Structure 1
Amino acid sequence: MSTIVIVLALLLTCAIAFYGYRAYRRRSIPASIKRLPLLQPLPRKLSPSEREAIEHYFQLNKHLQYSSPLASPPSPFSDSLALTPQSENIYAVTHAITRYGLATDAPHKWRYFLDSTEVHLPPLWEQYIAEDNHVELIKTAGIPLVISLNGHSLLDYMSAAPSTAGPPPVVPNSSMREQETEQVELLNIRKETPEEYALNRPTGIYEAALLSVALLLLFVSLLAPVLTVPWLIAVAGALIGWGGWRLFRRPSEGARRDVHCLRGTPKRWGLFGESDQNRISAISLGIIDLSYPPHWLPFIGHDMGKKTDVDIYVNRQVVRQGRYLSLHDEMRHFPVQRFGKNLVLLCGSALVLCLLLVYVPLSLPLTLSTAWLKGAQDIQAVDVNMLAGAQLRIGDTLRAQGSGMCYVNTAMAPDARDPFIPFDCSSIYWNNAEPLPLPESDTVDKAVALLNSVNAQLHPELNNDPKINPGLATAIQKSGMILLDDFADIVLKTQDLCHDDSACTRLKTALINLANAKDWPSLVKRARSGALKGVNVLLRPVSAETLQNLVATATSSFFTSETREATNALNSPSPGGFLIQSDEGKLLVDHPLPVSSLYDYTGLAQWNELQRLSAMLLHTPFRAQGVITSLSVDANGTRHISLHSEPDAITVWRYLGTSVLLFLVIIIAAANAVLLVRRLGKNRHRAQDIQRYYESCFNPNLPTVSLKSLS
């Protein structure tokens, strides 16, 4: 898992670095050397003769001034058309050339455009403009310079003097609009408002994707090796800073485009404009073809043929017209509801939330983080009274040392592998009560007495029994037979242990057969009356082994049941006190672990092991140290304290980071879910609300529409 996390982190880091470098390169390229629109990607190089012709053209036209009514204030021609290192490339394009002009006192009031890109055309070449023009251009410090037009090159221009040339003749098939008699007044040039800028700004999906990647990197840092954590956090922080700044920044003065405020009479020509072939009818302001937002088309007829103020971008896109039509007012009262970034952030935060729930345990980090924020203390206790007087809170560090009783687990499973079963020394009862006594049982004593009696008779020691003649005992041993010299004792001790009629059925049947008795009650009666005194029973070795196995099997069930009952009796500590437990299952005692589990023993050995463990663990020294993760009180008044090992500095920061990241993704997911629903609802009605607003403005007979109610 750690290897996968490292590989994923490295891949994400490389991808972010690559795309960040590309974005930086794109932003760092000056405007003068950016690739021009419509140009071929593979330019040819400028020849020395062409460079000489261009420089000669500059010398001939030093006196010209370049100014654009739709761009910036006048600037010297030499500064605008100076050669740069990027002028070595010549770009070729075939496209229509459009000519624009406004009322101005500048000597050269005509401006030429390839689509929305303004170019400088030598004055004498205007007569060569056709509908489709083969143009070659180079980049300069200002606007691109046309060095070739429809086969005419600046190499041929060297012998001409543009200052003495007369006005060029009008070419019928030229793709230019002649200046009209109706003049257009330029009122001023302003920057677009923040609302107008917001209408065309990016949707924020790219920045939202960066923030989602940053959240994913923060999640990976919770599972990654320690050495990679600072790098992952640094990259995630940089992405959050950059993406957040791009998402919420206000537009700078340089980022906002120029808006030209004009005054003139819009007219509908009924013709297609040169650069916009998708309009039903062309509307012009003087010689400027206007481009309107589609939803304005039903209302622009109100200003046709009237003196009107019109605000436009350089690309002729209308921003405001007349008294009511205004993109600024639309954005202020009916903002564009861009929900793409909310959808991306919602999906990204939901993904990180699911990964946290699946791969990271959250209960402990949340518990400890909350406690640490409230303030934690260090508590030490060497007796119960000190611990009882302390104000315990979750998140405090507890160090307790004393003597207590290991917790007794009554749910003993036969397949359990805990060496301390039934004792669980990861939990300790600590109180001032007297320790519980060792387990005792009369039934176990009776079972031990029966086992000892049978074993003593089946495996006697020679010359040790005064009731048997030594010579007879030697003869019996040589014959291979086994003598039961006190058969009545076996019967009576069996009855004492198995007084229930349903117990020890097989053992009772075997003893009945050996005594040749009618039934068990009659055999017991004979044994109690002394009728079996002096009766000796001879057994073959196989029969003796069978009898021994029957006795062992019968007593084993009593040992098991008595062990369980004794365990239940041990699980009755005195009321009050404390139950200190490790939530990680760590032992709180220093005793060496037994090699075998309690259930690895059978019969009497199991009972003996229980007594040995009880003598060791009912009152044993312990040492508990850790952070309190849980506090509770049971019905007996015993306070339960759960401890977790004290985390190191790295673990503490992981816990805090997990909690912060969890709350962060929950807040981001919830906020973007709400915004997504709201913006989808508003966006569904935005077009209708704008139409109703404009209808109420242009039709006074209709009831006035409240902007507040529409928004």
Structure 2
Amino acid sequence: MSTIVLILALVLICLIAAGIYFWFVFREQSTLAYSLPFIKPTHRKLTTAERAAVESYLNQQNRFSTRLLPASPMLPSARLALTSQSDNVYPITRAITRYGLASDEPNNWRYYLDSEEVHLPPFWEQYISADNHVEVIKTQTLPLVISLNGHSLLDHIYDRPPTPVVTTTIPEKNASIRQKESEHVELVNIRKETYQENSLNRPNGIKEATSISAALLLLFFSLISPIMVIPWMIFVAVLMIVWGCWNLLRHPAESELKEVHCLRGTPKRWGLFGEPEQGQISNISLGMIDLTYPPHWQPYLTADLGKITNVDIYLNRQVVRQGHYLSLHDEVKHFPLQQWGKNAVLAASALVTILLLLTYVPLSLPVKLSSAWLQGAQKTEVTNVQALEAIPLHIGDTLKIQGYGMCYLPPDEGNSTTAGFMPFDCSRIYWNNADPLPPPESEVIDKAAALLATVNKQLHPSGTQQKLNPQLASAIEKSGMILLDDFSDIVLKTQELCSLESDCIRLKNALVNLGNAKNWASLVKRAKSGALQGVNVLLRPVSAESLENLSNTAASSFVTEEIRQATATLNSPPPGGFLITSDEGKPLVDHPKPNSPLNENNALEQWNELQRLTNLLLRAPFQAQGVITNISVDANGTRHIALHSEPDMITLWRYLGTSLLLLALVASLGYNAWRLLQRWRKNQHRLADIQRYYDSCFNPQLTSASVRPMV
């Protein structure tokens, strides 16, 4: 499992590194594409002769413009300068659109390819046609046209000095050039767009939310990854979170805000030289400028038609404000945008990561210890019960105990078989001031041992134990028979152990048959009277083995019951005190282990092992040290204290990281789920609220109570 996690972590890190590399590689190209949205991917390099011609043109243009209007903000050509990106020449075929503004500048014509403003040498206006093949390069401010319909700047720069002033009248045959009309359009001001207007064009934050979500998953994988990759994974995750949060929360810089031209003129419903678009909303022009409006403004545009009106537009002719009421700024101010997509991504990623934490990482111990450490845990060392009783203990405290106690005995669960025999669990220790319990003793065990001893002695005699003469013993051994030389002793010891009539039925029947008696009572009477004294019983090997098995079975049943009763007695410690537990199952007492598993011993050997362990473990020296993970009190007043080994520094940081990540995920899930529902609900009626707001502005009979601003 650890190998798979390591491979996944390395693959994830490689993917992130590759993404950062490609971002840096294509960063310059993306910036250029953003500044020139109409360019094609294909391009060529600027030749040395062309570069010399461009530099000559720019020098003359900048020198003339500075001398003419040195402080004019409306003359972007005065700031033209080549950059490192100017070596790329982009060929395109587009219609060239221009419009003029009423101002004090000598050249008030502005040229556009699509919605991007470009600088066109003024002496090329006569070559403009419906579809123009041009070549452009990037400069410090505006893209520069170096070739138009076969006319290159290289050919014209030495034949004709450039002049930025255009006074000639453009022929009517060039349909793509917009003529000056009699309509007066006044440039009132040039301003930067407001933050509210900028928010309408900003991304919805899903990309940043995805970055934060990937960082949360990376932090989760760091909890189950090898130690050598954890710092790198955390570093990358923190960078991703910082980048995502910065882009989500920051205000755009001043340089990122677009220019807004504040114009004054008379809007009319016509569309000179404009491509047909959807609806009549695209057929409104201000002088020679075709205006583009937000679709929900259509019912309110007729109020300003034919009247002198203030209109604020972007360079792409998109209207952001018109008249007294229509304003994108006011819309966002009173009815904020409800971008709920980022909240949906963050809530979903937080939920997925929480499920992964619950599935693959144990959370109980990290949460307990982290909360205890935040509250201030203490270290305690005690050697007697009275001192521990006087100390207020809390989960997360570090506790060290030395003393003498009794190992815990698991409660009897009704399993009376020898296979379930397990006398002591030394990962739990009873610690109190009561006198230790006495070791277990039993007369029944002594009787069972006596019966087994006499049966074993007679069935497996040694040479010195037999009471027969050697010749008779040798003859019996040669015949393969087995002699019971004290049969009455077996009968009497069986009666002492199995005193009840229902005890040892099979063993009693076997002895009755061997003694040729009518029943067990008569056989016992004869044995007690001495009538069986000196009576020898001769057995075949099969019968002898059967008698031995019956004796062992009868004795084992009594021994097993005595073991169960003895362990139940030992497992009833005095009330009060403490039960110290290792929640990892580690033994708190160092004691010698049995040579063989207890369930492989017979019943009598298990009893002997129980007595030996009792002498060792009813008052055994123990040492327990660790962090308290649980405290409880049972019905007898015994305080149960669970200890966990003190974590090392790496484990400690994993615990803290797990708790902090879980807390952050729960907070993120709750907040983003709430914001998702709130924003989704408000987004459903935002447009309707804006329309009611405009209705109340353009129709005074509607009261402001019908408008519901958002917050």
Alignment map for 1:234-313 (pairs within 5 Å): 234-269=235-270, 271=271, 274=274, 277-280=277-280, 281-313=282-314
Q: Distance in 1 between matches of 2:227 and 2:193?
A: 50
Q: Match of 1:690?
A: 690
SS of aligned partner of 1:111: strand
CA RMSD, 1 decimal:
2.9
Aligned amino acid, residue 421 of structure 1: M
**Does the 8 A contact of 1:692 with 1:705 survive in 2?**
no
Cα pair distance change 1:577/1:311, threshold 3 Å:
same
**Does the 8 A contact of 2:263 with 2:311 survive in 1?**
yes
SS of aligned partner of 1:227: coil
Alignment map for 1:351-390 (pairs within 5 Å): 351-390=352-391
- 1:414 positional shift: 8.6
Q: Match of 2:538?
A: 538
- Unpaired runs of 5+ residues, structure 1, are none
Cα pair distance change 1:360/1:31, threshold 3 Å:
closer
Q: Match of 2:193?
A: 192
- 1:511 positional shift: 0.9
- 1:482 positional shift: 3.0
Q: Distance in 2 between matches of 1:586 and 1:416?
A: 25
The answer to which of 536-545 and 424-433 deviates more is 536-545
The answer to which of 116-125 and 406-415 deviates more is 406-415
Cα pair distance change 1:357/1:60, threshold 3 Å:
closer
Alignment map for 1:154-193 (pairs within 5 Å): 154-157=153-156, 158-161=158-161, 163=163, 167-193=168-194
Aligned amino acid, residue 99 of structure 1: R
Q: Match of 1:219?
A: 220
Cα pair distance change 1:458/1:45, threshold 3 Å:
closer
Q: Match of 1:527?
A: 527
Q: TM-score, normalised by structure 2?
A: 0.92
- 1:116 positional shift: 1.4
Q: Distance in 2 between matches of 1:496 and 1:382?
A: 49
Percent identity between matched residues is 59
Q: Match of 2:558?
A: 558
**Does the 8 A contact of 1:403 with 1:621 survive in 2?**
yes
Alignment map for 1:290-439 (pairs within 5 Å): 290-411=291-412, 421-439=422-440
- 1:221 positional shift: 1.8
Deviation per CA, 1:589-622: give whole Å up to 9, x if none. 1223334222110131121111111122111111
- 1:392 positional shift: 1.6
Q: Match of 1:618?
A: 618
Q: Match of 1:228?
A: 229
- 1:683 positional shift: 0.8
- 1:143 positional shift: 1.8
Number of aligned positions between the proteins: 706
Aligned amino acid, residue 544 of structure 2: A
Q: Distance in 2 between matches of 1:660 and 1:414?
A: 49
- 1:249 positional shift: 0.8
SS of aligned partner of 2:228: helix
Aligned amino acid, residue 490 of structure 2: I
The answer to which of 355-364 and 182-191 deviates more is 182-191
Q: Distance in 1 between matches of 2:166 and 2:462?
A: 147
Cα pair distance change 1:635/1:30, threshold 3 Å:
closer
SS of aligned partner of 2:42: coil
**Does the 8 A contact of 2:428 with 2:582 survive in 1?**
yes
Aligned amino acid, residue 290 of structure 1: L
1:458 equivalent to 2:459? Answer yes
Q: Distance in 1 between matches of 2:465 and 2:588?
A: 51
Aligned amino acid, residue 446 of structure 2: D
Q: Match of 2:131?
A: 132
Cα pair distance change 1:668/1:417, threshold 3 Å:
farther
Q: Distance in 2 between matches of 1:321 and 1:305?
A: 13
Q: Match of 2:38?
A: 38
Q: TM-score, normalised by structure 1?
A: 0.92
Q: Match of 1:92?
A: 91
Cα pair distance change 1:612/1:32, threshold 3 Å:
closer
Aligned amino acid, residue 640 of structure 1: H
SS of aligned partner of 1:224: coil
- 1:300 positional shift: 0.9
Deviation per CA, 1:544-593: give whole Å up to 9, x if none. 22212221122122222221221111101111111111000001112233
**Does the 8 A contact of 1:421 with 1:597 survive in 2?**
no
Q: Distance in 2 between matches of 1:507 and 1:293?
A: 106
Q: Distance in 1 between matches of 2:434 and 2:197?
A: 81
Cα pair distance change 1:3/1:505, threshold 3 Å:
same
SS of aligned partner of 2:641: strand
Q: Distance in 1 between matches of 2:58 and 2:400?
A: 89
**Does the 8 A contact of 2:418 with 2:603 survive in 1?**
no
SS of aligned partner of 1:323: coil
Q: Distance in 1 between matches of 2:166 and 2:458?
A: 146
Cα pair distance change 1:341/1:451, threshold 3 Å:
same
Deviation per CA, 1:272-292: give whole Å up to 9, x if none. 763673453411111111110
Aligned amino acid, residue 202 of structure 1: P
SS of aligned partner of 2:609: helix
Aligned amino acid, residue 523 of structure 1: L
- Unpaired runs of 5+ residues, structure 2, are none
Q: Distance in 1 between matches of 2:131 and 2:673?
A: 52
SS of aligned partner of 2:626: strand
Q: Match of 1:142?
A: 141
